[in-house]
Every structure is written in structure tokens, then in C-alpha cells.
Amino acid sequence: MKFAIFALLFATFFGSAFAADKFEDIPHKTLAEAVKSGKIALLDCNNTLTFNKNHIPGALNYGKVKADLVKVLPADKSTLIVAYCGDPDCSAYKGGATAAVELGYTNVKFYSGGIVGWMKEKEKVESVEK
């Protein structure tokens, strides 16, 4: 009985912390449509050098904005937030996605293809001029 109560309390209080790093992968086509519509906030979780070279149009450089994320993301907590990084083997997106969830955003996803997948699909990219 004590074990069952402990397990229930553990799951209640700590379950959300473990679930926070499990985000739905947004399909490429859906992401491309959202980018074109402008109804999305993108968090590029790559390093600044990679971000400056190529990023999805409209993406925020998570490394530069993470301290002020609450100020740069939309006020509407149901806005689609998509975090991404380099490619399917990269997990840096979890930092941005988790931060958005912690701020109360309810529609947070990730793009597993990353910037490599975006470019492989011959989508437009932006770069930061030096």
C-alpha cells in the first residue's frame, strides 16, 4: 500500500518533468505551411555560427534569446512553437522546447529534420550578414 501511494505521488509530481522532453515531431509539409502562413514561432537551437549561416525564415536564435524568451515569444500560449536543431541525430531542440513548455505554451513541437532536412527539401533559408 505504501509503495502504491509513493508511486502515485511520484508519477503526479515528477511525471510531467519526464514527459517534458517528449515532443511531437511536426511533419515537414505542415511546418513549411506554417512558416509560409507566419502563424508559428520557431526556435533554432543550433549554435550561433550555424544559425548565422542558415536558418528557417523567421526563426529565433534560441541561444541569444533564451534569457528573454518570455519577451520574444507570442503572448498567445496556444501559438505553435517549433524547436529544431541540426538534423535527426541532434537533441539540442529539447532545451528550447522545454523552455517554451515551462513558460506555459501548450502547442510545442519539434522538427526532427533540423536545418539539414529543411535544406534537403530545398526550402528557403535566411542568413545573418556579418
Instruction: Give CA–CA dist 55/45, Å, rounded.
Output: 10
Stated pTM of the model: 0.84
**What residue segments make up the domains of the chain, in order of their start?**
21-120
Over the stretch 37-85, which tens digit does the pLDDT of each residue have? 999 999 999 999 999 999 999 999 999 999 999 999 999 999 999 999 9
Name the 3-class secondary structure at 25: strand
Over the stretch 74-130, which tens digit does the pLDDT of each residue have? 999 999 999 999 999 999 999 999 999 999 999 999 999 999 999 999 999 999 986
Q: Which CATH architecture has domain 21-120?
A: 3-Layer(aba) Sandwich (3.40)
